[in-house]
Amino acid sequence: MSTTYTLDTATSRANPTPAPIKRLTVPAIRRRKGTEPLVMLTAYTVRTAQLLDPHCDMLLVGDSLGQVVYGLPSTVPVTLEMMAAHGAAVVRGSYHAVVVIDMPFGSYEASPEQAFASAARLLKETNAAAVKLEGGEAMAPTVRFLTERGIPVMGHVGLTPQAVNVLGGYGARGRTEAEAAKIVADAKAVAEAGAFAIVIEGVVEPIAVAITQAVACPTIGIGASAQCDGQVLVGEDMLGLFDRVPRFVKRYDDLATRIDAAAATFAAEVRSRAFPGPDQVYAPKD
């Protein structure tokens, strides 16, 4: 049982529900290579984590929170403080999935030592299991440095959103032979450096298949291929909370429309004084 504290259920909506189940581990995720596909979704809050956790093998506290939660134009402005706060919330709200936290732009690229300091801070402040960082061959020494010092690392190759200013946008990667070969080489370098899994994002499908066949660790696709060892989506995209989403997203619900309708009904009842009704007010005691 991972929950080691108790909240007053009479006052806290975020009370975690302890369950007699052992949280998955990073080695358990790595052993899933080539077996049952891994399920990963992003989560940024306690309540979202509570709802997604029973269905996921991993919860990713993605730096996509910059756009999804804070309305920023990209992931570049996201800070360690943001990641630590949301990471801790997701860990508190989960008991089953491995929680992975994105290393934000600028927190790891300068040196392996900088990366270790940032990653150690995230794991200490959140109790998460692992970190994720973007980049291929250039970041392989950093991946090795972290893993050799007890910090599990998930890699990320292909379309790397933190490099949007260099890439010039969010289009699919690997359409030229040279770029395809570079992405495969990046993935191999990160895997050989010790990454326990690798996210492959926004690449033409043959690249994802080639990487999955070439590396010993699981691959997690997003805009990649069903042949990857697992899949990840931004939870809010999957739930239909945004009008515009990447073409590789499948919407499994339309929560935006449902929330809009509920808010409209609430507003109408307030204006007509139908709410609150007898069931929502306190009557005098006899």
132 is in an annotated binding site: yes
- Kindly state the DSSP code that residue 129 receives in the 8-state scheme: S
**C-alpha–C-alpha distance, residues 113 and 286, integer Å:** 69
36 is in an annotated binding site: no
Active-site residues, by number, are 201
Q: Which stretches within 112-254 are classed as H helix?
A: 112-126, 140-147, 164-167, 177-192, 205-214, 235-238
- The annotation status of 237 as a binding-site residue, yes or no, is no
Conformational region of residue 150, where left means phi above 0, alpha means psi within -120 to 50, and beta covers everything else? left
Cα–Cα distance measured from residue 184 to residue 173, given in angstroms and rounded to the nearest whole number: 11
231-176-211 Cα angle (round to 5): 35
Contact 227, 212 (CB under 8 A): yes
CB atoms within 10 A of CB 167: 14
Structure tokens belonging to residue 242: 């945004």
| Sequence ranges of the binding site for 3-methyl-2-oxobutanoate | 63-64, 102, 132
| Sequence ranges of the binding site | 63-64, 102, 132, 134
